Amino acid sequence: MTLWGNDALAKETDAAAGGKSGESPGPGQGALRAARRHLRWGWWSLLFFLTLGMVLEVLIGFRYLGEVQEMRRTMWRLTHAHGTLLSLVHIAWGATLPLLGRSGLRLRVVASPCLYAASIALPGGFALGGAFIKRGGVEPGIGVVLVPVGGAVLFVAVLLAAIAASRRVGDDEKRGN
């Protein structure tokens, strides 16, 4: 029994990572690299979107984004909120990846790119919608069409993450995958 609770899993992840069997009980190097990428993306984007939030507060405080620009203010607040939330989701996913073991490998291959796409499309759609207001400031710009696309890929990413987290270590080996 290893630190991770499964000798067979440790040998498989070591072999997949290019290590010798029994050398290290931890997750494969691919999972660790993916986790670091998500953590790096999460922390840097969190800094970016929190800074954006502070800039918005200053603009609102000095009445630059007043009542006349209500739609722009709403879109940019949604940019800040969704970007901040997705940054935290990246941090959580990065912390989760090493714990999934081999059973989450296939799901990770799809969930990670979906999460990156959602992190660009959702806040990006709101930002573009606020930057290019139509009809005298009452309708968001065309960029807002990215929002449902981002929502859909976020749904896929969260669904796959939930499935991966629900699997027990070794489930794939029992199924013969």
The per-residue b/e assignment along 129-141, b for 16 or more CB within 10 angstroms, e otherwise, is bbeebeeeeeebb
The pLDDT, as a whole number, for residue 167 is 76
Q: Read off the pTM.
A: 0.74
Please check the confidence at residue 20 and state whether its pLDDT lies above 70.
no
**What average pLDDT does the structure give for the chain?**
79
C-beta neighbour count of 55 within 10 angstroms: 12
Residue range 69-94: mean pLDDT, rounded: 91
Pick the more confident residue, 68 or 109.
Answer: 109
**What integer pLDDT is reported at residue 171 of this predicted model?**
53
Among 43-47, 67-71, 86-90, the minimum mean pLDDT is found in 67-71
pLDDT at 116 over 90: yes
- pLDDT value of position 17: 45
Domain boundaries of the chain, sorted by first residue: 28-175
SS (H, E, C) the chain: CCCCCCHHHHHHHHHHCCCCCCCCCCCCHHHHHHHHHHHHHHHHHHHHHHHHHHHHHHHHHCCCCCHHHHHHHHHHHHHHHHHHHHHHHHHHHHHHHHHHHHHHHHHHHHHHHHHHHHHHHHHHHHHHHHHCCEHHHCECCHHHHHHHHHHHHHHHHHHHHHHHHHCCCCHHHHHCC
CA distances in angstroms from 34 to 47, 65, 93, listed in the order given: 20, 39, 10
Query: What pLDDT band is residue 2 in, cutting at 50, 70 and 90?
Result: very low
Q: Is the pLDDT of residue 123 over 70?
A: yes
Q: What is the pLDDT of residues 29-47, one digit of tens each?
A: 777 888 899 999 999 999 9
pLDDT of residue 174: 54
Beta bridge partners of 139: 134
